[in-house]
Amino acid sequence: MTTNYSLILIRYSLQDVFKVSGKQVSPTEIENTIREHPSQFITDVAVAGVKEARLSDELVPRAWVLLSDVGKEQGVEAVLAALDEWARSRLSKHKWLRGGFQVVEEVSHGYWYVEG
């Protein structure tokens, strides 16, 4: 998992879904699942498809999260591990956040393909 990035290069906007292994993925569904975590570790989240390093033509979900005070107290690594476990237990495998999580200072909503 990667953390502490706040600058993202936006290449072009996408529809409200993208495909992973030929299956449709809704960023909104993933965002809502992460928001439902009972510990309230985050105040906001945005999900988008990013290029996977191994497969240059495949997009995988990545989440950018804004930590709450509770999340900051718990620590970045513990929060991201808990959110990843939560998402994996509730989402189909192709919707898992294989692109990882990044902690940011501000979340911009919309659906984007992002570089990196």
- pLDDT at 50 (0 to 100): 87
Sorting pLDDT into bands at 50, 70 and 90, what band is 115?
A: low
pLDDT at 59: 86
Residue at 115: amino acid letter: E
| Cβ-contact 89, 49 below 8 angstroms | no
**In this predicted model, what pLDDT tens digit does every residue of 24-60 receive, in sequence order?**
999 999 999 999 999 999 999 999 888 877 766 778 9
Of 82, 93, 64, 77, which is closest to residue 6 (Cα–Cα)? Answer: 64
Residue 58 corresponds to which tokens in the numbers above?
């495949």
CATH of 9-115, one of 1.20.1260.10, 3.40.50.2000, 3.40.50.720, 3.30.300.30: 3.30.300.30
pTM above 0.85, yes or no: no
Q: DSSP letter for 62, please.
A: E
Mean pLDDT calculated for residue range 3-27: 64
Q: Angle CA(35)–CA(110)–CA(108) in degrees, nearest 5?
A: 70
Backbone dihedral angles phi then psi of residue 108, each to the nearest 5 degrees: -105, 125
